[in-house]
A and B are shown apart, each in its own frame.
Chain A
Amino acid sequence: MDATVSDRIKSDLSANDVVLFMKGSPVFPQCGFSAAVVQVLTHLGVKFKGIDILQDPSLRQGIKEFSNWPTIPQLYVKGEFVGGCDIVREMFESGELQTLLQDKGISVKAAAG
């Protein structure tokens, strides 16, 4: 992987507690899987930085190598790769995602019922 791409990923991850590499923007996701993760994060009231990999082919490839993960979206919390859409959804449904975020000191809206 290009060193500048890897540096860019690392600096995005260190500058933001929660980062979502996605297709499209949080407001206009370009893919259902990205939209699903945005929905979970929004529902939990978690502030995150969405990075649109469609804007940059080198980032699109680079992030897959960085995490050894073949698909987008990819969610990172405090620099650590949490998973793609399936894992995020599964963890949200079981409450593990909320616990993980809170353990990392990220405020989560109290889950309603």
Chain B
Amino acid sequence: MAMPAAEIERLIREALPDAKVTIDDLRGDGDHYAAHVVSASFKGKTRVQQHQMVYQALKGRMGNELHAMALQTSAPE
């Protein structure tokens, strides 16, 4: 099952309004993405917590409709 990149970005921004979201559709199939999310709300959080925040924003889609998304998170410099 596929999910458009714009929808992923919208969901992330809804939860993390300041987020800079960069998404690459790795295979052009709408199913294998690499996302880089930069948000001030990641400051002071572990990587696991940062990724959990993004997964939470995706409301259960990660691992379901969204099969594969490599994720990288960071706080702005």
A71 touches B62 (CB 8 A): yes
User: Please, which residue of chain A has its CB at the minimum distance from the CB of B48?
Assistant: A83
Which B residues, 43 to 77, have Cβ-Cβ distances below 8 Å to chain A?
47-48, 51-52, 55, 60, 62-64, 68, 70-72
User: How many interface residues does chain A have, given as a range?
Assistant: 10 to 19
User: Please, which residue of chain B has its CB at the minimum distance from the CB of A72?
Assistant: B63
Contact with B along A31-74 (1 / 0, CB 8 A): 00100000000000000000000000000000010001111000
B52 touches A69 (CB 8 A): yes
- The listed residue (A70, A81, A82, A87) touching B55 by CB distance below 8 A is A70
Complex Cα distance, B55 from A82, in Å, reads: 16
B48 touches A70 (CB 8 A): no
- The listed residue (B47, B62, B72) touching A70 by CB distance below 8 A is B62
Taking Cβ atoms with an 8 Å cutoff, the residues of B that contact A are 47-48, 51-52, 55, 60, 62-64, 68, 70-72
Taking Cβ atoms with an 8 Å cutoff, the residues of A that contact B are 33, 64, 68-71, 81-87, 90-91
